Structure 1
Amino acid sequence: MRPSENEPLTGITAVNPSVGGPADEVAQFPGVPFWVWIIGFIALTTALNIRGIKTAERANDLLMAFQVLVIGIFVVLSLRHVLDVGGAGALTSTAPFANHATTLAGISAGAAIAA
């Protein structure tokens, strides 16, 4: 079951004709059956996809750990502020967000960094 030169390209060769596919390998190695090349290309593609998924999973774990760290720092600093300022008054105060030193440029810069 070897493809002829008249058959259309399929799979990866249809996307990028410079990349060889099973048909090219059969031409180079006629002693190896076509189905062996198909299974080989499927296995290679699957292995590369699995590796990519595992890499993405590790990156997501690292980002999630960093987010938990930032949340922890925020909670600690918030509790410290409440305890230093004097309790419930610190919970309703807008002083950390808007005071005499606050400028529109500073708020805009903070919003741009947060986004």
Structure 2
Amino acid sequence: MTESAQLNHAGPVQRYDVFHTDCPARNVVDHVTSRWGIWVLISLRSNDLRFYELRESIHGISEKMLAQTLRTLVQDGLVWREVEPATPPQVTYGLTEFGRDLGEPLTELFDRITRRLPPRAAE
């Protein structure tokens, strides 16, 4: 039996088979669960952030990887991008409704993981 995920778009309901290699939903899953995609979504779950605020919130990410990840998540419709006309331009990012919807189970996943891990020793 083939299981399929469903993404809602305007018009008739389309079914997506995420186990098929050319399924567009599979690309979104890959982007969300990529090394940096998941951290961007979690970082934006509470507040809209400017590029450098976002970079500071995700330890270990380079500017290049953050820019690539944000570009992909914006194209997927998970993150919005707003450019404020200033010198230099200030760019703010936030979660779309779709991004917030995906962020909820990710937050729950992280909460479950941290509840089950043994207590950390004081550093």
Q: TM-score, normalised by structure 2?
A: 0.26
Structure with bigger helix share is 1
Q: Relative contact order (alpha carbons < 8 A, sep ≥ 6): 1 or 2 greater?
A: 2
Structure with bigger strand share is 2
Q: TM-score, normalised by structure 1?
A: 0.27
| Bigger radius of gyration among the two | 1
